[in-house]
Chain A
Amino acid sequence: MTVIEQVTRRAQARRVTPRAPSTRQRWTRRLPLLPALIYMIVITQIPFIVTLWYSLQNWNLTSNARAKFTGLSNYGSVFTNANYRSSLLVSVEMTAVAVIVSMVLAVALALLLNQKVLGRGVARTLLITPFLIMPVASALLWKTTMLDPTYGLVNWLLSPFGVHHVAWLSTHPLGSIIIVLIWRWTPFMTLIVLAGLQGQPLDVLEAARVDGAGAFVIFRRMIFPHLRPYIELGTLLGSIYIVNTFDEVYSMTQGGPGTSTTNMPYYLYEQAFQAYNIGGAAALGVVTVIIVMIIATFALRLIASVFRFEEAVG
């Protein structure tokens, strides 16, 4: 805040209330906030600024050569190197498919769970479990006991439908990871959509039903418009989380076969911790931040609107 701003603000404040808070009072007010704020700035913001600095350097931890300033050349390779580009595409495909399918399933499941059904609470509890289980644990078990070509549960369940001994992870590696992501994130989105559904007064829907509106019309004209902000919020938050997928890739395929499941986070990990290419990894990190920030801007705006609504009501 500039000095002039401060002065004018103080003047404005004086006009409204005879006793404006003094500088000292304002700082005592701020005091409880400061530890958390400073902590977050130090731990989360400074590393990003340093990343930006590293991304302009040619620095490899394996060589003894000092870091060398190279300008934007690392960014050049982000967009020209085929592996970088492929990791970008894998990330986009993984995120888009997982988010869309999870959201469609989530709306269906939330509509189901919103019905008065025997044992609804227990069903809901079981349904959210995939989101609670340690991702590394579930990914390893999907890889082995679920998707194994010979002994896997999935092939056994699908055998009545003519599917026999499919080696899911080698024939459909990306698809397998996406299936696990859908399984893990659908519960999360279901909870958000369900929160939206439960905010809609039932008597209005009942009135529409009594007036003879069909289920489809009620959904399209009444439920869906009400759910829209929640669906958007779930989609955006889901995208932000799923773009960062690392655990499943590390545990199930290690980015392979070839580079078919190497997404941006995993590629960055390989660059930093296997190739020790600090500059390249940093540049990739900056690009990832930019992509995520674009999604996050929409998410923040949406949260702000939901949030203002909440303030207005409560």
Chain B
Amino acid sequence: MTASALTRPRPRPRGASRKAKTWSARVAWFVLVWVAAIAFFLPVLWMILTAFKPETAAYSYPPKWTFSPTLSEFRSVFSRGIAPFLENSLFATLVSTLLVLVLALPAAYALSIKPVGKWRDSLFFFISTKMLPIVAAIVPIYIVARDVHLLDNVYALVLLYAAMNLPIAVWMLRSFMLEVPGEVLEAARIDGANLFRELTRVIAPIIMPGIAASALICIIFAWNEFFFAVNLTSTVAATMPVFLVGFITSEGLFWAQLSAAATVASVPIIIIGWIAQKQLVRGLSMGALK
């Protein structure tokens, strides 16, 4: 950095004029921040508004911002048979997340608290799998799933979603475990706790917020996953995104219903994401950023 650029004398605004300037700058920043936030949020807001409209009000020009809200579209979404899709999504998401935690907790331990030799290589192996394009693996996955009768089976999704989220969870949990004070672990070891006890009784309670955040991020990604779901399931094991694309053939007629279904599919995850937003960066950058 050149010093001259920073030390060049410049007339500074003083007193009242300076105050007025900072005040107007603050208003400008405020307006800009909120315009940007609302612009990005608008499609989501519009989805929620349209979900509460009667179908006829969804098709109007100019678009209707005021209307008498109705739950009828939500009712028709449920009578259209959304329930099994919701159940499959819930099952695949929760069971895969559980599997991730069971595998990731000991792995993160072996990469942080009692590191194995070459732990760096293992750690980088985990994220490198996250960077491989899933599409490239779909052909053999499909053929193997077909041959072992896991096509249209929700357990196929469980196994794949666990593999999809495991690297993120290992990285996140590891970064939390690094923050566990060494004395606590020493004390546990002197007490003769074995690995299982050390993990469940000593470490897990301390890093509970980290476990919760990792689980929430796994839930978000598993719930929203579409590519495996559309290629490996058809009727029995199909999840929410597959239910939604079922509207593609008929969407010309049912905007309000589509919005209601999309709201049901998205709002729980949006709320989870809002709760976990502080940890989101950590998860998305594979633990590189805090």
Contacts and interface: CB of A to CB of B under 8 A. Distances in A.
Interface of A: 26, 29-33, 35-37, 39-40, 43-48, 50-51, 54, 109, 112-113, 115, 117-120, 122-138, 140-146, 150-151, 153, 156, 183, 186-188, 191-192, 194-196, 208, 211-214, 217, 221-222, 230, 233, 237, 240, 243-244, 246-247, 250-251, 254, 264-265, 268-269, 272-273, 278, 281-282, 285-286, 288-289, 292-293, 295-296, 299-300, 303-304, 306-307, 310, 314
B126 interface: yes
The 9 A-B pairs of least Cβ separation, nearest first, read A285-B136, A32-B106, A132-B273, A36-B107, A137-B262, A33-B110, A50-B140, A212-B10, A123-B37
Interface residues of B, number: 107
A120 to B, nearest CB: 7
25 contacts: A31-B110, A36-B126, A43-B159, A112-B32, A124-B37, A126-B40, A132-B266, A132-B274, A133-B44, A133-B269, A133-B270, A136-B245, A140-B262, A144-B258, A150-B61, A151-B59, A191-B281, A191-B284, A195-B281, A269-B231, A272-B138, A278-B139, A278-B143, A285-B133, A289-B133
Interface in B242-290: 244-245, 247-248, 251, 255, 258-259, 261-262, 265-266, 269-270, 272-274, 277, 280-281, 284-286, 288-290
B107 A118 contact: no
A132 B267 CA distance: 9
Contact of A44 (B44, B132, B289): B132
Contacts of B230: 250
B46 interface: yes
B111 A33 contact: yes
A306 B7 contact: no
Given A141-B259, A151-B63, A306-B288, 15 more contacts: A26-B117, A33-B116, A36-B107, A37-B107, A37-B125, A44-B137, A127-B36, A134-B266, A136-B245, A140-B251, A146-B46, A222-B1, A240-B131, A247-B227, A303-B286
A146 B43 contact: yes
Contact of A246 (B10, B226, B248, B259): B226
Interface centre among A145, A183, A269, A299 (most CB of B within 10 A): A145
B114 A29 contact: yes
Contacts of B41: 126-127, 129-130
Given A39-B163, A130-B44, A30 B110 contact: yes
Contact of A127 (B37, B59, B143): B37
A119 B34 contact: yes
A251 to B, nearest CB: 6
Contacts of B237: none
Contact of A136 (B125, B134, B226): B226
A43 to B, nearest CB: 4
B26 A134 contact: no
A40 B125 contact: yes
Nearest to A115: B29
